[in-house]
Amino acid sequence: MHPNQNPTPGTTQRIPSGCKVANYIPQLAKVSPDHWGVSLCTVDGQRYSVGDTDVPLCLQSCVKPLKYAIAVNDLGTNYVHQYVGKEPSGLRFNKLSLNFQEKPHNPLVNAGAIVNCSLINQGANKAEKFDYIMQFLKRMAGNEFIGFSNATFQSEKETGDRNYAIGYYLKEKKCFPEGADMVSALDLYFQLCSIEVTCQSGSVIAATLANGGICPITGERVLSAEAVRNTLSLMHSCGMYDFSGQFAFHVGLPAKSGVSGAILLIVPNIMGVFCWSPPLDRIGNSVRGIHFCHDLVSLFNFHHYDDLRHCAKKLDPRKETRETQHKTVVNLLFAAYSGDVSALRRFALSAMDMEQKDYDSRTALHVAAAEGHMDVVRFLIDGCKVNPFVEDRWGNIPLQDAIKFERHEVVKLLTEYQETYVKRQMGAETSEEQMSLENLESMV
Ligand code: GLU
């Protein structure tokens, strides 16, 4: 697709002269500057793609927040931050520099990312470490495309003098955990830069972050909430090289760019976006990608502070009209009526209120009980912990429906559930909210 003809993803602006595709290795230099694609995946799994969204490209620095998320998921915040800081460096991403505690400034600059490589899966051999991270990324991407460019890896290694220099400096300053081998950490660093995604699979990774660590495609919890929160915070302050402050100011969303021209953009609780266009600006960010991000927030109220009261109103795709609210009740009750547990699971994962009532004040549990759908009833009570005492307009609760229609198994299940529900309401159980989340997770 030619950049100056491109009518889609969001911008038609010309690439200013002087903006070039990264050329420090031949594998990047030979990528066409005309590639331009944007994919998005919402937190409830809706997809949209425009342009070159199924062409593999290297993640490069976009992998940095991902491996940091893996490290925090596995080792916890305190452990990881014994080795790496949380501040923007104010310096080029590949500077030979440490903070005042002699740690890398943050995990999104090269020094921090190299140390990060030495933290994950310590004790495993090189092959196991690489496999472990590949599998992890695959789960974040909902099992969609994750590849590896060996040619890029070999060139990164051959031309990586600056990264070797950083590695030796880190070693001298004892930045690695005990027993870690600096050269192996660097090797893993180069490998991870060479991992490939497409815009489509990248958008699922971004959506997993936007969705608090649960992949919207598979429903699997891949990352802890703590890991996601930390990662988004750092992406917000440090993700866009020396443009991070301006990006936080104008776009107000967590993002990470890479020299391949990729941008991983997160709209928390809404969607993940992955855009790709190789020509880079002077700072190293994709020119079209940055324009796309600006355009996106100029239209929608996605900037972190667009939500303030009395702010100028932009479009809000989250806002439910009365009509869509009505539709969600119909969908919910229809899924309960037809015994469609996977639809219900999808609704629950997208934070739908599973206790919604229709015009007759009937809930999904009423309908499933009357129809005798045991698996739906089980999902609603075990997974969603819905209230079994809601009365419809005729004063009936779900148990009464099950009795009336002689759904004996449902009667038994609901009778027991009513007892535990009452006990829990009286505080006999621990944190109800936490339990229902755990239960929901174990069901998906
Ligand atoms: N392979 C590059 C380096 O380590 C990554 C650059 C980037 O995407 O920021 O220098």
- Sketch the domain layout of the chain as residue ranges: 3-299, 322-443
224 CA to centre of ligand 1 in angstroms: 27
Is residue 61 annotated as part of the catalytic site, yes or no? Answer: yes
- Nearest Cα to 276, choosing from 136, 285, 335? 285
3-state SS of 139-170 is HHCCCCCCEECHHHHHHHHHHCHHHHHHHHHH
Is residue 64 annotated as part of the catalytic site, yes or no? Answer: yes
Query: Count of alpha carbons within 13 Å of 160, Cβ hemisphere only?
Result: 24
- Cβ < 6 Å from ligand 1: which residues? 60-61, 93-94, 110, 156, 163, 193, 258-259
Digit-coded pLDDT (tens) for 347-365: 888 778 899 999 899 999 9
pLDDT, average across residues 408-426: 93
Is residue 259 annotated as part of the catalytic site, yes or no? Answer: yes
Which of 38, 64, 267, 277 is an active site residue? 64
Residue 246 has pLDDT above 70, yes or no: yes
Query: What would you report as the CA-atom Rg of the chain, rounded to the nearest whole angstrom?
Result: 25
Residue 258 has pLDDT above 60, yes or no: yes
> How far apart (Å, rounded) are the C-alpha atoms in residues 291 and 297?
10
pLDDT, average across residues 225-242: 97
Is CATH 1.25.40.20 correct for 322-443? Answer: yes
Per-residue pLDDT band at 4 (split at 50, 70, 90): very low
Please tell me the residue having the least CA distance from ligand 1 atom 9. Answer: 61
CATH number of 3-299: 3.40.710.10
Is residue 421 annotated as part of the catalytic site, yes or no? Answer: no
Which atom of ligand 1 is least distant from the CA of 110? Answer: 4
Contact (Cβ atoms closer than 8 angstroms) between residue 35 and residue 1 = yes
Which of 68, 83, 194, 241 is an active site residue? 241
* Strands 262-267, 255-257: pairing kind: antiparallel
Which atom of ligand 1 is least distant from the CA of 193? Answer: 1
Is residue 305 annotated as part of the catalytic site, yes or no? Answer: no
pLDDT number for residue 12: 47
Per-residue pLDDT band at 444 (split at 50, 70, 90): very low
